[in-house]
Structure 1
């Protein structure tokens, strides 16, 4: 029987039997993991899963849970769960009533049938061991199980096995890396493929890690042909997958006669196609809201555009499809876009459903290609957000899927430009006026603040500024041009602690707001590559007006740093009674080899030191009471 493959067999769960090399840097140790998936045709599949995991310390508690996601197409049965003490003796065998059956409906969703069987194992005595197993039947599936024995830092593995059983003619694709053992055989007329690994040590957590994929074994599989919820398709490549997605959306962008008339009225005097797109996008933002809808194939098929127009809401597919339908009435072609939002992007050489998690809209124009994020009521037309930018995507067209890429927002696009005017008085008090413009990715943070309730907004601002002795006055946020992702913030405040005294000298930290406050810890034996995720440019100018009788005794020398990670410069000038400080930092978004981490730490150290530099002031009367 399939249930018996890799599942049977007694084993001691005594923690003392775990080799010392697996305890090093580990919070948990996978004692035994077995998953067996049997393909019984395009539509039928069966998963048998078992996990035995030892939690060594409190840091491992987050792994002490069972969470099995299912829906009406993938019921779960035969759940067994047991908690053991350090000696491997059973402490508690869980009953059916102990297992929670929870809806996974998000707070932004109204139609969704995904649920989870959930159990949290609780123990205050370390170490302890958990064991659970279950069987899951699939009535149609778009993906095959993946195998990743080490799924996080601080996890070691004694033994982990993944077995796939299928008909010899069953076609699927696979990606894999660092697999210690991979076997294939024909058993009772079935092809049996097995991937396994043993004695895998843990990796200590490393900051900015690009992940463990280069170091640990993993396998991901995808069917070439599938059947799901009365729909069939192929995904041998992205063109085929796009063709299936198009078949689901075909005919759903039709609008009612009343909607068509409304659209014609909106665009009747628009001089260009771009003006038409802008009017319709504004209409979409003002008259719809985002609500998730995930029911079977409905998780992939857009809601009819006519329905979205009627109810005023839809999910990412429904809203994008509604916009597509409106543009069609304006004689403008557009394509739905499958995208991996917040992820690296689709793998051009490996087509699979699970890579995409969002849908936007692409509008080819004569001079440009617009991508529209149809779920946001606040983004300017053509701005898709940092989580969707600069990644491979799939256009869903009548000819099948076409790979394309969303625009990348450069370091210059993601800007913060700040000017601060500081007027110091003779008692070392200060009146401060701050004007900051935020662009593109940094616009998103400012947008979040602009939309926050006033009480919470003020609280966040006080905490975020962190200026000592500060009293916050009036402030405001302005988006001068709704068609540009730029917001300007203006803040007025006072402070009585900008200057510190030492003897007859005064010390003024010139970088008032945008300082690096810590240096990353050095990791001489770093294992994983690291990545700087966010590219940006920050420019700060601070102008200090000194009161009568104050002179500058010392001003720091200019600083200039150029590295692969980014560039930094700071200049300091003194003219009349004014000190002007100018700082510019530009960071690159790149992946770096583990061996470069020491260079990055050194770069951060130099920036940290430069940001702390002070001007030394004196007064015309050295004993003046200040």
Structure 2
């Protein structure tokens, strides 16, 4: 209570003096912090105080100067809360370029709303949203608030830096009883904390000044390897009566086991259904596939964010009865179905989506999703349980090729999910193009997208109906001036799935005519146009994010009496990053163009960056090769 009163007094003091004393004038910002910046964070102070294993306070003071319209988003702020998180104080203000108060935040300007995403059925998450944006630049906004937590499961991290943002003053403070000291880890930070002892608490404080904008380089590592930040986690914690430890993954796994205990019991009718489904099948894979498809047909995904329910799954019997659940509940349900069939299945926590980073040596809550894994001899079957259409044992971009935490009877172990080879991520295209004398053409195109490329442009999500298919074609057919005569799509839900797209197109002015010459670009739909900029001072390693293979065979039928004036020699480009081949052949009035490009995922020394630039530059040049034909009549 003393701490809260102190902060309240501070806020009151700010409000009293703001009228008379200018604050945060733009003239007080060093010139180097404004260079290449859209915003300058003047103050960024976080104080997290652990009171007990299940209570904490979180103080935030954030002041940011918006230099131009590109930084406008920083004038808005969201504060999340729920039944276990209380907002004690929330204030805000706007200052002009001289530091004079323009306005102070009023209660009616705070938009209090549910955190509803369209898929969430049960949630007590709410957001207080504030927008203090102004039309005259530069200006400064200030936010200050305190949160009280009735749990201790995670500790907010702090990040300082990024593109077009600089920091003038920042600090991060952890305060705690020594008996329940949290853990922390520093990234791209060398500063040692100031340490204080008093009133039964130990306090660590890191302070920073004058952090310039950080340029993120093309094909660079993830932000977590570049941006200065601190992460922290409790060693001991309690969440709505569930006590646990987080010093090791084994201990964290034991806590997850305690959450899930007794929640894998199925109704008798469903037990009988499981036996009926699996009794005629021989292998583990056949049985799991059948149960997975049963689960997909029976359930649908909804979000559950109610207190401990944000981390604890519904009972399998509830999912069975209602036919819905979130990722935790559906994964737990799949585990229960397998268990009833005598098959061991494991609940898996994973960081799904674009962010694949995972700090193995820092046990903490680093996960946003749950899936199911079934050991199958030397292999593992991976099951995404929130999708009614996902192919069996396919992970793809959402959960593939990353580390995850598998919950086992012994606790937990770190595992690696599927990484597909370039040949698995294949895009294979065959096109027949018929050019008339005016340069217009008809094209019949068949493209097979396999593995990760099954998701190209959201293709896998567009397969459900004709309207979505047409929209996908219009967005992803990289041909100028085309009309769709007809199209069709088919899907194969193998373990490495594929989708076939058939197109019948009319191409307006596909070839350009000049006198007796006809100019054709044989690469119909797969030109690489991006070439990263060269640099003499590369700072970070080169990172390629995916393995893939593209094969294109384009057969071009020419008008009568049209012959090539010349054909390019075959092209070969080899590098440590990938390989490229292209060939051109003329026979009986037809040109056959064959293109192959393979790229390997990997991490390469920063000294190789300009080699990568040359690789893509040469590929782009090859892809834009034009063929010249002559009318010999």
Report the alpha carbon displacement of residue 346 of structure 1 after superposing the two structures with TM: 2.8
Bigger Cα displacement from structure 2, 269-278 vs 209-218 = 209-218
Q: Which runs of 5+ in 2 are unaligned?
A: 15-20
Q: How far apart are the structure 1 equivalents of 2:154 and 2:459?
A: 37
Is 1:474 aligned to residue 478 of structure 2? no
Bigger Cα displacement from structure 2, 288-297 vs 379-388 = 379-388
Per-residue CA distance 1:108-153 (angstroms, 9 max, x = gap): 1101111112101120111000011011111112111222232x31
Bigger Cα displacement from structure 2, 89-98 vs 267-276 = 267-276
Question: Which position in structure 1 is the counterpart of 2:173?
Answer: 163
Q: Is the 8 A contact 1:337 1:361 kept in 2?
A: yes
Q: Is the 8 A contact 2:555 2:591 kept in 1?
A: yes
Question: Which position in structure 2 is the counterpart of 1:54?
Answer: 65
Quickly say closer, same or farther: Cα 1:502–1:156, change in 2 above 3 A: same
Report the alpha carbon displacement of residue 429 of structure 1 after superposing the two structures with TM: 3.3
Question: Which position in structure 2 is the counterpart of 1:230?
Answer: 241
Q: Is the 8 A contact 2:438 2:509 kept in 1?
A: no
Quickly say closer, same or farther: Cα 1:455–1:197, change in 2 above 3 A: same
Q: How far apart are the structure 2 equivalents of 1:61 and 1:468?
A: 36
Quickly say closer, same or farther: Cα 1:293–1:575, change in 2 above 3 A: same
Is 1:519 aligned to residue 531 of structure 2? yes
Question: Which position in structure 2 is the counterpart of 1:485?
Answer: 497
Q: How far apart are the structure 2 equivalents of 1:617 and 1:280?
A: 59
SS of the residue 1:169 aligns to: helix
Q: How far apart are the structure 2 equivalents of 1:270 and 1:213?
A: 46
Is 1:569 aligned to residue 581 of structure 2? yes
> What is the TM-score of this pair, normalised by structure 1?
0.94
Q: How does 1:91-106 map to 2 (within 5 A)?
A: 91-106=102-117
Question: Which position in structure 2 is the counterpart of 1:176?
Answer: 186
Question: Which position in structure 2 is the counterpart of 1:358?
Answer: 369
Q: How far apart are the structure 2 equivalents of 1:216 and 1:495?
A: 47
Question: Which position in structure 1 is the counterpart of 2:213?
Answer: 202
Is 1:542 aligned to residue 554 of structure 2? yes
Per-residue CA distance 1:164-197 (angstroms, 9 max, x = gap): 1111222322110314342112133321100110
Q: How far apart are the structure 2 equivalents of 1:93 and 1:324?
A: 53
Question: Which position in structure 2 is the counterpart of 1:12?
Answer: 23
Is 1:555 aligned to residue 570 of structure 2? no
Report the alpha carbon displacement of residue 517 of structure 1 after superposing the two structures with TM: 2.6
Q: How far apart are the structure 2 equivalents of 1:212 and 1:521?
A: 19
Report the alpha carbon displacement of residue 347 of structure 1 after superposing the two structures with TM: 2.0
Is 1:247 aligned to residue 258 of structure 2? yes
Per-residue CA distance 1:268-307 (angstroms, 9 max, x = gap): 2113222211111111111211111111111111111111
Q: How does 1:436-475 map to 2 (within 5 A)?
A: 436-445=447-456, 447-448=459-460, 450-451=462-463, 453-475=465-487
Report the alpha carbon displacement of residue 612 of structure 1 after superposing the two structures with TM: 0.7
Question: Which position in structure 2 is the counterpart of 1:287?
Answer: 298
Q: CA RMSD in A?
A: 2.1
Report the alpha carbon displacement of residue 589 of structure 1 after superposing the two structures with TM: 2.4
Q: How far apart are the structure 1 equivalents of 2:302 and 2:224?
A: 34
Report the alpha carbon displacement of residue 454 of structure 1 after superposing the two structures with TM: 2.8
Q: How does 1:372-451 map to 2 (within 5 A)?
A: 372-445=383-456, 447-448=459-460, 450-451=462-463
Quickly say closer, same or farther: Cα 1:76–1:449, change in 2 above 3 A: closer
Question: Which position in structure 2 is the counterpart of 1:610?
Answer: 622
Quickly say closer, same or farther: Cα 1:105–1:450, change in 2 above 3 A: closer
SS of the residue 2:56 aligns to: strand
Report the alpha carbon displacement of residue 423 of structure 1 after superposing the two structures with TM: 2.4
Question: Which position in structure 1 is the counterpart of 2:592?
Answer: 580
Report the alpha carbon displacement of residue 345 of structure 1 after superposing the two structures with TM: 4.1
Q: How far apart are the structure 2 equivalents of 1:471 and 1:108?
A: 36
